[in-house]
Amino acid sequence: MASRVLAALASDEFLVSLGTVSSAEALRRHLQQSEFVKAVGEALTSGEVSEERVRQFVSDLMRSFKPGEQFFYDPALAALAVVMRRRYTPFADEFLLDLARVGRIVEFPFSPRVAQLCRLEWGARHPRVKKKTKTYNEAALRALRHAKFSYRVVLVSSRRLKRTGTIKREASYATS
């Protein structure tokens, strides 16, 4: 059962059912309603299929990748991207990011763009942005100003912090 739902994405039945695909956006719309895709999503949720199994499945498909030839299983990768858009796991994040990063190549006409669209949806529901600030008291600030270190400090005052400022360390290092 586990490998059957994944194998179905690589079957002629699934690929023929797509008919003529006009664009990545249209393909994504169809895949969101596809029974093949829903079956994979349910199997992942119930645990019948593991993410490691999906990784292995993708690895097996990618063995047939040949530069200069359209990848036959591009719709299968697009289908998995649609499955991953509702899974908030590191694997789903990795899958969508890695596939979106492939960009525009003739071998993958649709799946990178589908992954990009799914990743936007994924990110909207699962924000990843974290703000980090470091605060220093007055004494520390004075010490840093007089320091003989060779790196540059930029003091940015924050409205929220009256006495202390937020220091942003710049990446560049001044040479002596």
Partner 1 sequence: MFEIARFAGTPGRSIVVQTHKGTGLENYVAPEPTVQSANLYAAKRKQHPGWAQRKPAAGVYNCAGMVWASRRTTLPEPSDWRRVLQEDNYRQVRRGELPHVGDLVVYVRKGYTEILHVAVVFSVDRFIGHDPSGGVAIRVLSKWDNQSGEDSHALDDLVLNGGEEYVSEIWTDRP
When binding is defined by CB under 8 A, the residue of 23, 45, 89, 133 that contacts partner 1 is: 23
* Choice from 4, 7, 42, 65 touching partner 1 (CB under 8 A): 65
**The token pair that represents 141 in the structure block:** 């600030």
**Closest to 10 (Cα-Cα) out of 58, 45, 42:** 58
Helix axes 51-62, 90-101, angle to 10 degrees: 20
Q: Does 15 bind partner 1 (CB under 8 A)?
A: yes
Q: Max alpha carbon distance in the chain (Å)? A: 72
CB of 31 to partner 1, least distance (A): 8
Min separation Cβ 85 and partner 1, Å? 16
Residues in Cβ contact with 7 at an 8 Å cutoff, skipping those fewer than 6 apart: none
Binding mask 121-160 for partner 1 (x = CB under 8 A): ----------------------------------------
Contact 166, 134 (CB under 8 A): yes
Residues at the site binding partner 1, with contacts judged by CB under 8 A = 12, 15-23, 25-27, 29-30, 33-34, 55, 58-59, 62, 65, 67-72, 94-95, 98-99, 101-109
